[in-house]
Amino acid sequence: MQQKLTQRTLLELKDSLEEKVKDRTVKLEEAKSVAETMARTDVLTGLNNRRSFYEKANEILKTVIRKKQSISALMIDADNFKELNDTYSHSFGDKVLKKIANNIFASIREIDLCARIGGEEFVVLMPDENIEMAQIVAQRILSNISKKSLEFDGQEVQVTVSIGVSACKDTSSVTIDKIIKHADLALYKAKKRGKNCINVA
């Protein structure tokens, strides 16, 4: 009788330990998943970070090349961001970046890829999108951001961006770096033109 009780107790203990191990494994997997997501996400805006962007962008480009599609990119930069930060505080600067990120995300398709890749710099990669459609998306982002100001201590503060647009029809020899470089050059010209505008590479 005592032996049966001991065996039953050992079995119950074994089951309990297995359950705890299983539960701990699930929690570790969940923690690992969260950590991996955080490593690829910009904490402030919730968009992809630079690392995640390039990982996903290269996969998108492979598909675009295989399907012989065009591809477009937008480089978006907050205008006068240092002055906004210095004048109204870093927390206000954070609000500016969140506003820009939200407007970008709301203006693009589900298949498009957007990321914050620098301090106040954002990128959008649009597979199977021509230059004309990319310009329309850029104009939508520009208008949505500029038409609604942010408030600071009862004062309305205007927020604007400059956008560089590039597109590539023949993707046989293109790279993500080349696409981004062209959009970045277009962004530089938009800044030189006076900001709050779009320039096409």
Kindly list the catalytic residues: 120
Sequential DSSP letters for 25-86: HHHHHHHHHHHHHHHTB-TTT-SB-HHHHHHHHHHHHHHHHHHT--EEEEEEEETTHHHHHH
Q: Which two tokens stand for residue 55?
A: 């990982």
Contacts of 70 (CB under 8 A, 6+ apart): 64, 128, 129, 130, 167, 168, 169, 171
For residues 51, 43, 167, 185, the Cα torsion angle rounded to the nearest 10 degrees is -90
Residue carrying the six token digits 């993500």: 176
